[in-house]
Structure 1
Amino acid sequence: MTAAATGERRPVVGIAARTAPVTLQGSALTVSLALQSHVDFLAAAGCLPVVLPLGHGAQELAGTLDGLLVPGGPDVDPALYGQPPHPSTRAVRPDLDRAELALIGAALAADLPLLAVCRGMQLLNVQRGGTLHQHLPETTGDDSHRPATAGFTFGRHALELRPGSRVAGILGDGGAESFCHHHQAVDTVGTGLTATAWAPDGTVEAVEADGRPFAVGVQWEAGQTADDRFHRALAGAAAARAGRRHPQPAGSTRP
């Protein structure tokens, strides 16, 4: 039975929205949106997903949520980590970067379970004072993390996992692999973060916030494949938080 069927409160997980131009019935519009698979994976794991438009005080909601997912998106403004822009750094939105950094900061301050995906992991690292490689091929010597093909193609890398890390616990022992599409990556790891997964070329593929119940960043495109393990892990951490914040009345039982 689901939480909704039993009247039990479902954990509420915010998904930071992306803005994008669309054409609807011939009109050009800008919309706030979320990847449907993020919504579906979290809902299937027992959560109530809520899309959070960035700015307008979205960080004020952190204390009311049980979890937060920060998804992929455009390049991060390099001014936020003290660098001039590389020619390949494009489509930056400093206003949205700062709004999302404020949301991540509020989530960390509230010990909110956090899953940061691709750009989200990069923002988490910058929020903690870290820096980024602005154009990864200049570091690795190839485009294997964002293959230069006519269509959208994943780069695939076997992962080296830090033993005992939360990421290793989620992925298990069965030959973990990343499916990625990015040209930027963590350079200097931020304060209070630990790298817990690497590609064979040394690129940091996951970070975790030290001493927190659940604050994980993954560089690959979690949510764009059928693998929902990190969404289920976030849902589990959110459910535990919800249970602490909203204990069931005496005598009630969980399904």
Structure 2
Amino acid sequence: MPNLIVFDQCILIIINNVQSQNIQRWTAIIAFILYQSCIKNKNEQSFNICGYLFIGFCIPFSISIYPFFTHDYGFAGISCWIKEDIKHPVRSTIVRYINFYIPLILIILYNSSVYIFIICKLYGISQQQTKFIYKMISYPLILIICWIFTAFNKTYEEIQDQQQIWLLYLSKALSGLMGFFNYLGYGFTPQVRDQCARYCCKRNSKSVSVELELKNQQSLDTSQNTEEIKSRNSVNSQRDSVQGELSFIAELF
């Protein structure tokens, strides 16, 4: 039974690591595609889809599954991660850095350098590109904000062999919200906002349709009343003009 519990914990750790590293690498892939499109004006794919899938899925899965076969997953201080090898402590540190720290630092540096280079090249060319640049600033910030506290938390656990509850909750909350922040940064475009607005309007279509019918009926009644008033005024003006002409003729005779 304890072995089964440890096995389940290892599976959860692998899934968590694969998911987090997938998200990190796909942000780097997006940065690479933007660089190819904005700077080198290459609309065609520099890599085929298999290359992107290999970088985005296969490499994170290989890095995350390796400690499972070497029995490195376990209780690391307070939480479950790469456990400390008493006989070979340097090896445990190397596995931790390969599994988390080095990929995260490299991706943050790569994304930041790519977006800074794109911003310097495109800034001030046109108003549309300037708006696009302001949006691109959020891309590396999302990755940094979501994972910097996780890095602090893991480092603090290793050094102090204890845990700060507020730092743990903050790291878990921000890393778990990275998908939502990526949606806001990458996918929440004006077209998407328009579609969301249309969808929300459709859900309230009955009440909206009733209101529109009432407004249309009111406008129709108003227009009819206006036409009636205009027709009456025209008839009255014609009658007055005819009476005036008749009185003028009567005065002549």
- State the TM-score, normalizing by the size of structure 1: 0.22
Greater RCO between the two (CA within 8 Å, min separation 6)? 1
Higher helix share: 2
Higher gyration radius (CA):
2
- State the TM-score, normalizing by the size of structure 2: 0.23
Higher strand share: 1
